[in-house]
Amino acid sequence: MKVVILTLFPEMFSAQNSLGVVGRAIGDGRLEVSLINPRDFAQDKHKTVDDRPFGGGAGMVMRIEPLLSALKSAREQMSGTLVKTVLLSPSGVVFQQVTAIASLSLEGLILICGRYEGLDQRFVARYVDEEWSIGDYVISGGELAAMVVVDALARHIPGVLGNKQSIIDESHLDGRLDYPQYTRPENAAEGSVPGELLSGDHNKVRLYRRREALRTTFERRPDLLTQQLFAVEERRLLKEVIDTN
């Protein structure tokens, strides 16, 4: 899959593109990320990409022309036709795991990072397919949001996680927060490792992890449980959690 990112700060992506899961996905040729700076398409000698908002008010607005030239350049890089153009925006729909998984079937994704107060709405209306937010807080531009999207996406590309079953575990725990993890030593000044994990009994381990995942979810994110369908076993485990609360 190919991702083209339109950004006034392409340097922000160099760490992500060279390190960790995303860096490896790119290195292995499973993911392609390219960066286009709208400022490179600015026509005046000062390379202006923003201007004052009509109607007044604080801040600046990104002008149509440099964005459109950058977008045309991005679309020329995309071979297929199954390409979605997304604006990262505080007014977007919230990006979720399902959004990442659904995007995998695209041939390409164009991510537009806004700066200042945002983009001229005529550009958004005409050229943007969807607007994605990463949550209800204000950050200074779309770049960090684009990095979140690329990271979440890369984890779902076949082979990227090295089939260490990590992605299987994630879907296995769909709609649940993680169970707690322990490593050596068995006994530390801070406490001991739960007996179930040392038992060697795979079913005990499985039930312990499912129960503790349900406990954390029930305590911190009950909203995740309300719409879930429960297996009989999980109803019993959740009852145990509630009864020992």
Site residues, ligand 9D3 (CB under 6 A): 88-90, 114, 117-118, 133-135, 137-142, 145
Least Cβ distance, residue 56 to ligand 9D3 (angstroms): 13
Least CB distance from residue 142 to ligand 9D3, whole Å? 4
C-alpha distance from residue 43 to each of 49, 54, 70, 110, 117 (Å): 9, 21, 12, 23, 21
User: For residues 13, 17, 20 and 23, what is the CA-based torsion angle, rounded to 10 degrees?
Assistant: 170
Which one, 6 or 145, has the nearer CB to ligand 9D3? Answer: 145
Distances (CA, A) of 155 to 16, 202, 231: 13, 27, 27
Crossing angle for the helix pair 202-220 and 232-243, to the nearest 10 degrees: 60
Q: Is the CB of 98 or the CB of 138 nearer to ligand 9D3?
A: 138
Nearer to ligand 9D3, 143 or 212 (CB): 143
Cα 39-66-37 angle, rounded to 5 deg? 35
Q: Closer to ligand 9D3 by CB, 127 or 179: give it.
A: 127
Q: How far is the CB of 90 from ligand 9D3 (least distance, A)?
A: 4
| Residue 30, both tokens | 């499973």
Please say which residue, 115 or 210, places its beta carbon nearer to ligand 9D3. 115
CB neighbours of residue 84 within 10 Å? 15
Closer to ligand 9D3 by Cβ: residue 82 or 94? 94
Smallest gap from residue 169 Cβ to ligand 9D3 (A) = 27
DSSP for 53-116 reads PTT--SS-EE-HHHHHHHHHHHHHH--SS-EEEEEEEEEEEEP-HHHHHHHTT-SEEEEEE--T
Kindly state the smallest distance separating residue 214's Cβ from ligand 9D3, in Å. Answer: 29
Nearer to ligand 9D3, 54 or 137 (CB): 137
Any residues with CB less than 8 A from the CB of 60 and at least 6 apart, and which? 50, 51, 52, 53, 116, 117
- Angle, CA 106 vertex, CA 102 and CA 109 arms, to 5°: 100
- Dist CA 18 CA 208 (whole Å): 38
Q: Residue of minimal CB distance from ligand 9D3?
A: 145
User: Two tokens at 160?
Assistant: 């990227």
| Residue 138 beta carbon to ligand 9D3: minimum distance, rounded to whole angstroms | 5
- At closest approach, how far in Å is the CB of 223 from ligand 9D3? 19
